[in-house]
Amino acid sequence: MDQDTVGAVVPVRSRADLAALGPGVAVLAGGSILFAEQHRHLTTLLDLTTLGWTPVTVDAGGLGLAATCPMVEIAALSAAYADVWAAAPLFRQTCTALFGSFKVWNVATIGGNLCTALPAGPMTSLAAGLDADVLLWGPDGTDRRLPAASFVTGDTTNALRPGEVLRSVEFAPEALASRTAYRKIALSPIGRSGVVLVGRRPPTGGFVLTITAGTVRPVQLRYPEPPSARTLRADVEAVDAWFSDAHGAADWRRAMAVVLGLEILEELA
Ligand SMILES: Cc1cc2nc3c(=O)[nH]c(=O)nc-3n(C[C@H](O)[C@H](O)[C@H](O)COP(=O)(O)OP(=O)(O)OC[C@H]3O[C@@H](n4cnc5c(N)ncnc54)[C@H](O)[C@@H]3O)c2cc1C
């Protein structure tokens, strides 16, 4: 869709160029959601893709994904690291929770998905499910780091402060070495996710269940050891952040999270 109030799309070459962010000025990543709706308040877009960030960095510190890394490259990590990371399958699995065509997968970025902050954000499911951190660049040149699970704060709200930009998403080696299990359900075969659950068994022990899509923000249930089915059921039922929209009613989402959470427990325990 044409954004007829936008008079300039500015290629960003350095961090200093981001100082222009403010009322009427937003960053542009893949543009898959920015250009899908009218934004009459916008006059200028700052194109992050011209910063030339390395999309994927793997080293002893784990995995770093630049905010501009497109989903198609994230999905490809599952095959590329199949023999290296126990959690490798989760990268492609979570990408499939976004039923966009190949065109969307090629442009939609992890940063754009997290910042859009839809409850059904597949990259929120991935980053929260693996306990990643997000690195935020502040307008005054300072950096801020947050658990990805607390970055999305509600339905289309996030933890970004005015002028901040999401720089990268960082996954620790321990998370990549975790066994994971994934479940997604939607009301129709290609519908937006109703509930997405990620289970994680770290190599050091414990069990983490991350609920997204069915709740307005990610909810994590953590245990030192896999809980009993009875405990997990009670804890999922006690979650207070379910929401209702055209993609599912709150009570259905809660019921599905119980069923799928118990499946994950059985698979991983
Ligand atoms: C067919 C289709 C299906 C879709 N299905 C889903 C779905 O199932 N679930 C879902 O969550 N979404 C879905 N979306 C929307 C989805 O969020 C976007 O497609 C995509 O993930 C956004 O990424 P982008 O790089 O294109 O962001 P853009 O469109 O470029 O930007 C999106 C927003 O994030 C801001 N932004 C982008 N990058 C940064 C950054 N690094 N720092 C700060 N702000 C930033 C932009 O200013 C803008 O407000 C769908 C879209 C389409 C077209």
Instruction: Give per-residue pLDDT as tens, 15-69.
Output: 999 999 999 999 999 999 999 989 999 999 999 999 999 999 999 999 999 999 9
Other C-beta atoms lying within 10 Å of the C-beta of residue 56: 14
Contacts of 119 (CB under 8 A, 6+ apart): 152, 155, 212, 213, 214, 215, 216, 217, 243
Q: What is the largest CA-CA distance in the chain?
A: 58
Please report which residue ranges of 12-158 form alpha helices under DSSP H: 71-80, 89-95, 102-107, 110-116, 122-129
For position 101, which CATH number holds? Answer: 3.30.465.10
Q: Three-class SS of residue 149?
A: helix
Domain residue limits at 240: 180-268
Q: Are residues 224 and 166 in the same domain?
A: no
Q: Taking 90 as the threshold, does the pLDDT of residue 158 lie above it?
A: yes
Please say which residue of 155, 172, 189 terminates a domain.
172
Please check whether residues 212 and 153 belong to one and the same domain. Answer: no
Ligand 1 centroid–CA 131 distance in Å is 21
Q: Which of 112, 132, 101 is nearest to 198 (CA)?
A: 132
pLDDT, mean over the chain: 96
Rg for the chain, CA atoms, rounded: 18
Predicted local confidence at residue 1, as pLDDT: 74
Q: Of ligand 1's atoms, which has the minimum distance to the CA of residue 121?
A: 11
| CATH at 241 | 3.30.390.50
How many A from CA of 116 to the centre of ligand 1?
5
Ligand 1 mean position, distance from CA 37 (Å): 11
Domain boundary among 129, 153, 172: 172
With 0-12 / 13-18 / 19 or more C-beta atoms within 10 angstroms meaning exposed / middle / buried, residue 205 is: exposed
Q: Does 61 share its domain with 162? A: yes
Query: Do 158 and 104 share a domain, yes or no?
Result: yes
Q: How many domains does the chain have?
A: 3
Q: What is residue 207's predicted lDDT score, i.e. its pLDDT?
A: 98
Statement to judge: residues 158 and 186 lie in one domain: no
257, pLDDT greater than 80: yes
**Residue 192 Cβ contacting ligand 1 at under 6 Å:** yes
Residue nearest to atom 43 of ligand 1 (CA): 165
* Among candidate residues 131, 155, 172, the one where a domain is terminated: 172
Q: How confident is the model at residue 100 (pLDDT cuts 50, 70, 90)?
A: confident
CA of 110 to the centre of ligand 1 (A): 8
Give, for ligand 1, the residue of 18, 28, 32, 125 to mutate: max count of ligand atoms closer than 8 Å to Cβ.
32
Are residues 260 and 232 located together in one domain of the fold? yes
Specify whether 116 is located in the same domain as 187.
no
Indicate whether 102 and 162 sit together in one domain: yes
Query: 201 exposed, middle or buried (CB, 10 Å; 0-12, 13-18, 19+)?
Result: buried
Indicate if 168 and 211 belong to the same structural domain: no
Nearest CA to 214 out of 186, 253, 187 is that of 253
Closest by CA to 97, choosing from 166, 185, 215, 205, is 185
pLDDT tens for residues 202-253? 999 999 999 999 999 999 999 999 999 999 999 999 999 999 999 999 999 9
- Verify that 115 and 41 share a domain, yes or no: no
